[in-house]
Amino acid sequence: MASVSVDDAMRRAIALAARGLGTTSPNPVVGCVLLDPDGEVVGEGFHAYAGGPHAEIVALAQAGRRARGGTAVVTLEPCDHTGRTGPCSHALLAAGVARVVIAVPDPNPVASGGAATLRAGGVDVELGVRAAEAEAGNVAWLTSMRRGWPYVVWKYAATLDGRSAAADGTSMWITSEAARTDVHALRGTVDAVIAGVGTVLADDPRLTARNLRDGTLAIRQPLRVVVDTFGRTPADAWVRDGAARTWVATAAEVGTGPDGRVDLPALLAELHHRGVRAALLEGGPKLAGAFLAAGLVDRVVAYVAPKLLGAGPTALADAGVGTIADAIDLEITDVTQVGPDLRITALPRKKEG
């Protein structure tokens, strides 16, 4: 087999890591490629699920003795602690790997230190190769670990004139089945789905990840979170069925913010404590406005249908913007057509100063 460059191996490791998206939480996604001393690929691996073997261990098992004197190319700093599995730094040392190339350092104080251990063991360690790409592939986990609350994606559906329902309140369905199927796939990649009690009272959604055609549930379901100051979620609401875990987050449990409603930073801190790294905020307009006003949205995913309503509620209520200079600026990072609809992904721009 032909030899590959470390850069190509890192590109491959990043692609491998992505296969774990949605199943590794509360752990990160990680990919690893092992090259022998001649630069030939002798092992590949990714972290597939929490509690399962780490990417390095999978790749080392494939490589066997051919790892000796070789290079491990890995998207995240190898762990240095014994959790549900042993430290990868020790496994790499035991295999006799001569060089370890890492894209991103581990921000988790419990697991970091792998690079130092490897260096102390005489291994040549290089950090930062394709770091931006690897960071993007792990953005939810890295962001949530660095700051202590989950990465929040606000998803909404609207008509081309920005409305989420008609004047008579009907809203099913604004977007196509293709777009709604896409949303269910998105739910399958996060640890929690968040909605306000207003949406639960109006629509009685299930908030599960499922196949829209036959209703079968995805194997892994996000935690359903209803933000409900006074505990008004009905006992027979769909979100209380047994299809997935549900947390009705009340002010009594979480505390209240300045407006007397559920304290949103405290809610997110508690979700992080419960192992939630990525959360999908599914609205509705009031809760989304409150999240945006507090600067708690990391990414916006809008499904825009080629329909006009002219009247009816808008997808976003008050977000603390009183004048055009205070508009929440977004940077569009992707526009994809999904069936007849557009899926627009955008990132809120950080305010200067």
Ligand X SMILES: NC(=O)c1ccc[n+]([C@@H]2O[C@H](COP(=O)([O-])OP(=O)(O)OC[C@H]3O[C@@H](n4cnc5c(N)ncnc54)[C@H](OP(=O)(O)O)[C@@H]3O)[C@@H](O)[C@H]2O)c1
Is the Cα dihedral 151, 157, 160, 165 positive or negative? negative
Phi-psi bin for 7: left (phi > 0), alpha (psi -120 to 50), beta?
Answer: alpha
SS3 40: coil
Number of residues this chain uses to bind ligand X (CB under 6 A): 31
Instruction: Give whichever of 87 and 285 is closer to ligand X, judged by the CB atom.
Output: 285
Stretch that binds ligand X, among 7-15, 21-29, 38-46, 192-200 (CB under 6 A): 192-200
Q: Indicate which single residue of 30, 97, 227, 271 sits in contact with ligand X (rule: CB under 6 A).
A: 227
Structure-derived torsion over alpha carbons of residues 276, 24, 135, 295, reported in degrees to the nearest 10: -10
Ranges assigned E (strand) in 52-163: 71-76, 99-104, 124-127, 151-159
In the region spanning residues 284 to 343, those forming contacts with ligand X, defined by CB under 6 A, are: 284-287, 290, 315, 317
C-beta of 107: minimal distance to ligand X in Å? Answer: 28
**Binding flags for ligand X, 241-260, as an x/- string (CB under 6 A):** ----------------x---
- Peptide linkage before 173 cis (omega within 30 of 0): yes
Q: Indicate which single residue of 71, 75, 138, 199 sits in contact with ligand X (rule: CB under 6 A).
A: 199
* Contacts for 346 with CB less than 8 Å, ≥ 6 apart: 299, 300, 302, 330, 331, 332, 333
**Two structure tokens written together for 211:** 């196949």
Instruction: Give whichever of 192 and 197 is closer to ligand X, judged by the CB atom.
Output: 197
Instruction: Give whichever of 55 and 251 is closer to ligand X, judged by the CB atom.
Output: 251
Stretch that binds ligand X, among 9-17, 83-91, 180-188, 261-269 (CB under 6 A): 261-269
Query: How far does CA 218 lie from the centroid of its chain?
Result: 17
Specify the length of the chain in residues: 353
C-beta of 198: minimal distance to ligand X in Å? Answer: 2
Q: Indicate which single residue of 33, 34, 123, 264 sits in contact with ligand X (rule: CB under 6 A).
A: 264
C-beta of 334: minimal distance to ligand X in Å? Answer: 18
**Catalytic residue from among 56, 77, 270, 282:** 56
C-beta of 247: minimal distance to ligand X in Å? Answer: 13
Question: What is the layout of strands, in order, in the sheet containing 99-104?
Answer: 41-46, 31-35, 71-76, 99-104, 124-127
C-beta of 267: minimal distance to ligand X in Å? Answer: 8
In the region spanning residues 120 to 159, those forming contacts with ligand X, defined by CB under 6 A, are: 156-158
In the region spanning residues 156 to 185, those forming contacts with ligand X, defined by CB under 6 A, are: 156-158, 164-165, 171
* Contacts for 9 with CB less than 8 Å, ≥ 6 apart: 33, 35, 41, 71, 73, 101
135 classed as catalytic: no
CB 324 within 8 A of CB 180: no
Catalytic residue IDs: 56
Residues that bind ligand X (CB under 6 A): 156-158, 164-165, 171, 195-199, 202-203, 227-230, 232, 257, 261-262, 264, 282-287, 290, 315, 317
